[in-house]
Structure 1
């Protein structure tokens, strides 16, 4: 279990206040897996991250530890503004994380779509993760293996897909570690499956960029 990203189960507003990059160490403790997670403030209406800040982060202009400001976006003269982002600074996959219990109450679909359009303009693939599926669906709480058999969850995924346009096969349901203090293979299988698909999307994005660069060079010759 990874507990570096702090959470709050009491407040309804986003607990994340700074742009933070998380790396995952390998079992040997000497090296890291070749991917990172960039955690951002949530999109809570009136108390969440500014859409313009998300767009800057997608393009790699946001440095680690930038503290989000609801009153103004990151400016070019700010020390946390990265003027010359490298490929590693840029986002390769946009992941929308949403509580499965709140799908029917979504009110910020216009904001989500605005961010998706920006990501699409950059060619960045987009996926969604449904969390707390066991709380949203009693059948899953009884047996996590029922996750793809429960009609109510399927309906939530289809509703979310219809609202935001993300295909159902790009929406991954997971159960959060909440009460558990030891690893559980059923919980892990869903989390690792989602992670595998996210990494594959990132690989496809990078490979397509490289392919386009080679094609451009060929055309110039």
Structure 2
């Protein structure tokens, strides 16, 4: 038996899920028949200030699916399979090691007014909380190579001393593997909590994305529309909410595109549902900071 075969055997034996109990009605409603309205809402989004970008920062444990979520979002908005963020399927080590931002083309000459930023995965030796905080503050330049042993210093060439509004993060997204969540190491959960506290101090809203939901139960794998009927998944989301403090209405289950070669309407619907709420929260953050800046300017003028 090869190593990979043994690994697969262990996963099946060790992580066998209990039979799911389907609720009589979904606990959250999704309009599966009309993904176009959600798609159009995302396509129509435009910040109030010209030139403003909404920055979405993704973080989470190694292998949770951050890069796959970025590719899935781009695929839905492009209307075809789109792979820009590289994904590692063989290694459980840190694959994303640099600060990388992805712009999404809207047409041949323009981009959507929101960007997705990716960082090194969390772990006992992963990205440091201080570096995530600096990224949220807009003080990490594109291409910075994260160091597991030390944070970005102010004298580093990749330290941004004068971040603009576009450099700062407007919504923080924690990407979680729903299947392996019960086996998450305590150190990783503590990092998630610490990062959430730092984001709260910066008035940045936080969202959690649950990926690989089709691995949680065969009912979801057979029919994605069962996602809000599987009580077992709901209980995992509720426990995560209690553990890290992200409210349930800010936690969204999605299925990333992984082995498919064509788009699927149900997969798109879940991704768009999450993305629409992420954008709304990020826009609220932009407007809040704009109003705070205006208030401070007015106070300075009146002094």
Taking structure 2 as the reference length, the TM-score comes to: 0.70
Aligned to 1:75: 153
Give structure 1 stretches of 5+ with no counterpart.
none
Question: What is the 5 A alignment of 1:108-119?
Answer: 108-119=188-199
* Residue aligning to 1:145: 225
Distance 2:189 2:123 in 1: 11
Deviation at 1:104, TM superposition (A): 1.1
Question: What is the match of residue 295 of structure 2?
Answer: 215
Counterpart in the other structure of 1:52: 130
* Matched ranges for 1:1-221 at <5 A: 1=75, 2-26=82-106, 28-46=107-125, 48-106=126-184, 107=186, 108-220=188-300, 221=302
Q: How many residues align?
A: 219
Separation in structure 2 between the aligned mates of residue 13 and residue 129 of structure 1, nearest angstrom: 21
C-alpha distance in structure 1 between counterparts of 2:87 and 2:297, whole Å: 47
Larger radius of gyration: 2
Deviations 1:163-220 (A, max 9, x none): 1010011001000111101111110110111111100001001111222233334445
CA distances 1:94-149 after superposition (whole Å, capped 9, x unpaired): 10001001221222221111111110000000000000100112211010011111
Structural RMSD (CA): 1.2
Task: With the length of structure 1 as denominator, give the TM-score of the two structures.
Answer: 0.95
